[in-house]
Amino acid sequence: MEGISRRTFLILTGAGSTAAIAIGSPWLTNTSEALAPEVSMKTLLDELATFKTPPLEKQSPFNARNNPTIATGVISLLSKQGKPAIEAVGAVSHQLIPGPEGDLLVRIYRPQGNGPFPTLVYFHGGGWVIANLDVYDASCRALTNAANCLVVSVAYRQAPEHKFPAAAEDAYAATQWVMANAAQIEGDPMRVAVGGESAGGNLATVACLMARDRKGKMPIHQMLVYPVTNYAFDTPSYQENANAKPLNQAMMKWFWDYYLRNEADGNNPYASPLRADLMGLPSATVITAEIDPLRSEGQAYAQRLRDAGVAVKATNYTGVTHEFFGTGAVVNKAKEAVNEAAAELRAKFRNRPI
């Protein structure tokens, strides 16, 4: 598979218009000042900073998995405001499903009402190394209610104990299981989408690539929130946000170093989907954040999907950072992003014959 050149294209949206421009354009030159978060995002980042966490890239994976997260900051703010920390849904349950090398735990969020429900198979972020179902619980609850669907959140194997392609294989296996067995969990097997945040967005789209290549069942839509799409660190957003919080360039290098078995794995389209042939993939929602090293590659991936004939709705949210999506309890733009993703999911679920 040929690698993507550095002159990849970005989607810019605004005022009802969309334009594509090349990386390297003078419109995307690095700025001298760091991008500033909007007020509610800054309040959350300031709250997280009070926990005084050592730099992640200087920690072992074990220690890093015990760090406070954006979710910790949200819960802390809500506690100070006397507000509930958890959004209620119809029900939450857990189940073991078969994986490539043993059972995988999934957490199933059900909306109010009676099934069968359309279903989103969801993969959490954390650079394939850290985080878990709890860290991304808020995103799943918000999507369950906003899209009125089941959300099946998958606890996939993590590096460095299980390096590439373990997480990708788990994502594919979990997606195929849900599509074949949705009726067992009150889901509709004809209305199954995939989605995820950051490394989880990578796994969601890679599960679709694998489904195409292996002639498996194909999800009807992919919801990709600031997805990791390329093993490279030279994009405009990597330059602009080299020292951003809560994700920076050094952290992404740390994640990739633990995830890949070797440098050659970075060229594999199941690790770097920006380098893949994207023909035949399902429609996509791509959400990116302005203050995020991953912004450029997410936008470039949206354009590559479009070039391959895939219908894409791509939006970049200004004034917010990586990990903003699940913070709707305290960050207004997170609510907007969840509502956008949910609206796209509902439209795809509605248009699919039952």
Coil, strand or helix at 80:
helix
Residue 337 CA to residue 298 CA, distance in Å, equals: 15
- Nearest CA to 229 out of 23, 16, 13, 14 is that of 23
* Active-site residue (options: 124, 170, 292, 296): 292
Contacts for 114 with CB less than 8 Å, ≥ 6 apart:
186
Residue 194 CA to residue 171 CA, distance in Å, equals: 10
Question: Is 216:176 a contact under the CB 8 Å cutoff?
Answer: yes
Q: What is the largest CA-CA distance in the chain?
A: 55
The DSSP line for 193-229 is EEEEETHHHHHHHHHHHHHHHTT-PPPSEEEEES---
- β-partners of residue 153 are 107, 122
Residue 136 CA to residue 71 CA, distance in Å, equals: 7
Q: Which residue has the tokens 């993703």?
A: 341
Is position 322 annotated as part of the catalytic site? yes
Residue 301 CA to residue 285 CA, distance in Å, equals: 11
Q: Which helix (H) or strand (E) holds 335?
A: helix 332-351
Coil, strand or helix at 287:
strand
Is position 277 annotated as part of the catalytic site? no
- Nearest CA to 229 out of 328, 160, 279, 303 is that of 303
* Active-site residue (options: 40, 76, 139, 198): 198
Catalytic residues: 198, 292, 322
